[in-house]
Amino acid sequence: MTQLSVNINKFATLRNARGGDIPDVLKVAKDLEGFGAQGITVHPRPDERHIRYQDARDLKPLVKTELNIEGNPIPKFIDLVLEVKPQQVTLVPDAEDAITSNAGWDTLTHKDFLCEVIGTFKKAGIRTSLFIDPVAKMVEGAADTGTDRIELYTEEYARTFKTGDLSGIEPYAEAAGVAERLGLGINAGHDLNLDNIRYLKEKIPQILEVSIGHALVCEAIYLGLENVVNMYLHRLR
């Protein structure tokens, strides 16, 4: 079975918008595990606009499944990961002002840098994954860095699937085949949702883990909206 790691950044966005601790991201993480999630993902950014660095520290002793910390390996991020020692670190080349991740690594251009960072994390016993586009030469470059896994950046797949074009899965399946032959584990994430996740799994059964946050939270709000409204009405009668 492909494992589900839930990205809880969006819960932190809601908390930060109002101040205080509602929703409590620590309780959210524990509840998600109780509901069956097999991992918790956080992506702290330098401005801490959603998940804060302290959240990552506080989550480590609470998460009983797998803690995955993702982000751009700037010095502050590297220090955090080495302090917290999550089960997995996912390296993402996002700019500090990026709203969300929007590109995979050029594993050829940044090979030396990635080798150094990955080596540092692996010495600390932390599994590493590289966020990359579904391009064979980038997968091959990833293998040369010493990473344990890649995470396929699935935004383009999600976009084409939404239009009814199922051929968008093809480069992902090809990239996954290259990764498998090279001995790399395969994760996937970005814009995956209830509509497109099954087809992805059917076509790339070797995916070990998906990381889903924004869509899952939006779907949870909508699918639970009627129930909550009726709970309020019941209490007001």
- For residue 38, count CB atoms less than 10 angstroms from its CB and return exposed for 0-12, middle for 13-18, buried for 19 or more: middle
CA distance 166 to 95: 30
* Contacts of residue 99, Cβ cutoff 8 Å, sequence gap at least 6: none
Q: Which runs of consecutive H residues, i.e. helices, occur in the chain?
A: 9-18, 25-35, 53-59, 75-84, 111-123, 136-145, 155-162, 170-181, 197-203, 214-236
pLDDT at 96 over 70: no
Of the residues 33, 43, 66, 151, only one is catalytic, namely 43
Looking at residue 57, what is its pLDDT? 98
What is the chain's length?
A: 237
Angle at 41 between CA 195 and CA 175, to 5 degrees: 60
In the residue annotation, 214 being an active-site residue is answered as no
Domain 3-236: which CATH number of 1.10.10.10, 3.30.1330.180, 3.20.20.70, 3.40.630.40: 3.20.20.70
In the residue annotation, 190 being an active-site residue is answered as yes
151-170 confidence digits (pLDDT tens): 999 999 999 999 999 999 99
Looking at residue 153, what is its pLDDT? 97
CA distance 92 to 43: 9
**Helix (H/G/I), strand (E/B), else coil: 18:** helix
**Helix (H/G/I), strand (E/B), else coil: 213:** coil
**Average confidence score pLDDT of the chain:** 95
CA distance 20 to 221: 20
Domain ranges for the chain: 3-236
Q: How confident is the model at residue 94 (pLDDT cuts 50, 70, 90)?
A: confident
pLDDT at 97 over 70: no
DSSP of 29-93:
HHHHHHHT--EEEE---TT-SSS-HHHHHHHTTT-SS-EEEEE---HHHHHHHHHH--SEEEE--
User: Do residues 38 and 3 make contact, with C-beta atoms less than 8 angstroms apart?
Assistant: yes
Regarding beta strands 185-189 and 88-91, do their DSSP bridges make them parallel or antiparallel, or are they unpaired?
Answer: unpaired
User: Do residues 156 and 135 make contact, with C-beta atoms less than 8 angstroms apart?
Assistant: no
18: amino acid identity, one letter? R
Distances, alpha carbon 45 to alpha carbons 92, 97, 128, 237, in Å? 11, 9, 18, 45
Looking at residue 1, what is its pLDDT? 86
Of the residues 66, 70, 151, 209, only one is catalytic, namely 70
- State the average pLDDT over residues 22-49: 96
- State the average pLDDT over residues 125-146: 98
Which letter does DSSP use for residue 151 in this model? E
185-218 confidence digits (pLDDT tens): 999 999 999 999 999 999 999 999 999 999 999 9
Of the residues 33, 66, 151, 190, only one is catalytic, namely 190
pLDDT at 63 over 90: yes
User: Do residues 176 and 207 make contact, with C-beta atoms less than 8 angstroms apart?
Assistant: yes
The model's pTM is 0.94
In the residue annotation, 170 being an active-site residue is answered as no
- State the average pLDDT over residues 69-87: 97
